[in-house]
Amino acid sequence: MTASGAQAPSPFRPGLEGVPATQSSICDIDGQRGVLTYRGFRVDELAAQSTFLETAYLLIWGELPTAEELREFEQEVQMHRRVSFRIRDMMKCFPSGGHPMDALQSSAASLGLFYSRRALDNPEYIVSAVVRLIAKIPTMVAAFQLIRKGQDPIQPRDDLAYASNFLYMLTEREPDPLAARIFDACLILHAEHSLNASTFSARVTASTLTDPYAVVASAVGTLAGPLHGGANEDVLEMLESIGSEDQVEPWLDRAIAEKRKIMGFGHREYKVKDPRAVILQKLAEQLFDAFGHDPMYDLARKLEAVAAERLGPKGIYPNVDFYSGLVYRKLGIPEDLFTPIFAIARTAGWLAHWKEQLGANRIYRPSQIYTGPAGRDWQPIGAR
């Protein structure tokens, strides 16, 4: 309060740093100790013990499912994996050179045309929207991958679990069980991360009481940027451009001198190494042990070591995007699908936040500090 009793204006915080914009019981980040929990469970434990669908259930409904609840959820998701031929035909009209994140944003939004009955106060509608989005987003990512190569999309296979089925739809080959298990763990690690940019975008969209397909489509658009999900794609490009381990030090020194951001490093919340990067690094090593080494991993580790000396004192360490690309590359996934895969996983978190937002909704409408001119006189066009 000011001396006159009026409400003091809040200080302006660019990027809303440190400004709580919601209350949430979904996910907690301890950025000093590097601990991430979903609904109170440590993410490292979930990545080791759970499956993506079980974790999605936990995030969205708040509790771990019983065996019966999980079976039912898995069956529902399996039943809704197919997408309408109209959506597949629409995707065939997308330019094959377009980015798969743009294709995903458009196709996610198009689901609203097919399931447009908006009944946000009906629990059955909520369940069906959750199931449809979790089920269909991977099918649409895989479909665009084949369509842009001039091939017909592959139908999902009912005998395959969520992660295996996605890899199958992408490659037309049933994946190795270890590869599928590691991919599923990657989905768990990317499923949720509190009020990051795309989740904030999802909550803002949700707060207008629009439909859940629009909520996910707006979040996909936000995730696509290189400062957020898009960084995983840029990490490999960066490592390729460094070229060899002996180039790491001069490259990094140059990048720091030119004030360039090192992709896959830094995080608003973490001042230590992102716990997801720690786990992803271990998963990458498991893959290399099983399927052969990738020399780019040695380069990445060297970059991490040198960056720890140069940027560690500022609290800048690898984030989730630093090692995920190396895992996906080993799985044979094209680089521009890394962010759509992130979106497949994060759909669980976005839906959890959508549901939570609906539970105590107030439309987001922050204020601003106006910095433009005032009291200007209109000039007729001929006098300007």
> Could you list the residues that contact ligand ACO (CB under 6 A)?
15, 196, 227-229, 231, 261-268, 311, 314, 316, 319-321
CB of 353 to ligand ACO, least distance (A): 15
Q: What is the DSSP letter of 368?
A: -
CB of 197 to ligand ACO, least distance (A): 7
Q: Phi, psi (5° rounding) for residue 255?
A: -60, -40
Question: With 0-12 CB in 10 A as exposed, 13-18 as middle and 19+ as buried, what is 89?
Answer: exposed
Q: Which is nearer to ligand ACO, 34 or 153 (CB)?
A: 34
Question: How much is the CA Rg of the chain, to the nearest whole Å?
Answer: 22
Choose, from 321, 336, 353, 377, the residue flagged as catalytic. 321
Q: What is the DSSP letter of 335?
A: G
CB of 292 to ligand ACO, least distance (A): 27
Q: Which is nearer to ligand ACO, 316 or 333 (CB)?
A: 316
Q: Which is nearer to ligand ACO, 99 or 228 (CB)?
A: 228
CA dihedral sign, ordered 118, 364, 31, 305: positive
CB of 79 to ligand ACO, least distance (A): 31
CB of 90 to ligand ACO, least distance (A): 29
Q: Which is nearer to ligand ACO, 19 or 113 (CB)?
A: 19
Q: Across the chain, which distance is largest between two alpha carbons, in Å? A: 76
Q: Which is nearer to ligand ACO, 92 or 268 (CB)?
A: 268
Q: Which is nearer to ligand ACO, 63 or 258 (CB)?
A: 258
Long-range (24+ apart) CB contacts under 8 A made by 284-288 are 284/323, 284/326, 284/327, 284/330, 286/178, 286/182, 287/178, 287/179, 287/182, 287/327, 287/330, 287/331, 288/330
Taking CB atoms, the residue at the shortest distance from ligand ACO is 266
> Which two three-digit tokens encode residue 296?
């780019």
Question: With 0-12 CB in 10 A as exposed, 13-18 as middle and 19+ as buried, what is 64?
Answer: middle
CA dihedral sign, ordered 201, 202, 204, 208: positive
First to last CA, the chain: 45
Choose, from 190, 193, 267, 353, the residue flagged as catalytic. 267
The answer to whether 321 is a known catalytic residue is yes
CB of 93 to ligand ACO, least distance (A): 31
* Alpha-carbon distance values, 51 to 57, 58, 164, 191, 355 (Å): 10, 11, 12, 11, 21
CA-CA distance, 201 to 332, in Å (whole number)? 31
Active site residues: 267, 321
